[in-house]
């Protein structure tokens, strides 16, 4: 389902507010934005994207956006939606890369840059071979979990949803039940990963 931004809701302010609920609302608004989805689809068609779907690109870009905000590699130098689209365009143009994080080439002084201009100012840092091996091991371990555990961890870690939301969507009684479920699933994942050589010293 596509959505449009609520003019009364300031996505940038919400993202940097420190309020988890507001931040989650901002990420959801960005992910569901009809403008963002349409632009990603346009670029996918223009660059003849083949090895992944536009939705995969957007999901990967959301994770990179979250990382950039959390690690202060993005401080609101331009509009958040524009920054997200800049990431998406880079991911589509260099679809073979396995990106670890994004960073600006140089300081941005123009807050009104277009998505194309922002894309040209971004550097995609690729993952090392060890990081690739860890990601593969993580995917294999995730496949060893139950469907409910995979969903719980995905909602908490990748979709940045709070315990109240997870409880509601998983039809659990309350946030404490959701917290216990996420903890139990995390321990199951930890147990699966502990037997993998790449994680022996982690």
User: Domain holding 175: CATH number?
Assistant: 1.10.10.10
| Pair (121, 139) in one structural domain | no
| 180: Cβ contacts below 8 Å, ≥ 6 apart | none
Q: Could you read off the pLDDT of 12-34 as tens digits, one per residue?
A: 999 999 888 899 999 999 999 99
Domain end, chosen from 78, 101, 126, is at 126
pLDDT, mean over the chain: 85
Q: What average pLDDT does the segment 69-84 reach?
A: 92
Q: Containing domain of residue 79, as a range?
A: 11-126
Asked whether residue 1 carries a pLDDT value surpassing 80, the answer given is no
Q: What average pLDDT does the segment 72-92 reach?
A: 93
Q: Is 2 inside any structural domain?
A: no
pLDDT category, 198, cuts 50, 70, 90?
A: low
Q: Which residue's entry shows tokens 């689809």?
A: 41
pLDDT category, 193, cuts 50, 70, 90?
A: confident
| Pair (111, 74) in one structural domain | yes
| 40: Cβ contacts below 8 Å, ≥ 6 apart | 54, 57, 58, 85, 88, 92
């Amino acid at each position: 389902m596509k959505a449009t931004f609520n003019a009364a809701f300031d996505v940038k302010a919400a993202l940097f507010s420190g309020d988890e609920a507001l931040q989650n609302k901002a990420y959801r608004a960005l992910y569901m934005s009809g403008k963002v989805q349409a632009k990603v689809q346009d670029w996918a068609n223009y660059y003849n994207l083949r090895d992944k779907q536009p939705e995969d690109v957007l999901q990967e870009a959301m994770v990179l956006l979250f990382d950039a905000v959390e690690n202060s590699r993005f401080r609101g130098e331009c509009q958040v939606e524009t920054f997200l689209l800049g990431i998406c365009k880079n991911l589509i143009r260099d679809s073979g890369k396995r990106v670890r994080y994004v960073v600006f080439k140089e300081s941005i002084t123009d807050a009104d840059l277009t998505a194309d201009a922002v894309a040209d100012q971004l550097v995609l840092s690729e993952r090392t071979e060890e990081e690739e091996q860890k990601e593969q091991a993580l995917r294999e371990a995730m496949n060893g979990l139950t469907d409910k555990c995979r969903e719980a961890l995905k909602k908490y870690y990748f979709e940045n949803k709070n315990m109240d939301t997870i409880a509601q969507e998983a039809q659990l009684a309350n946030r404490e039940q959701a917290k216990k479920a996420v903890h139990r699933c995390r321990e199951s994942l930890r147990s699966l990963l502990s037997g993998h050589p790449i994680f022996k010293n982690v």
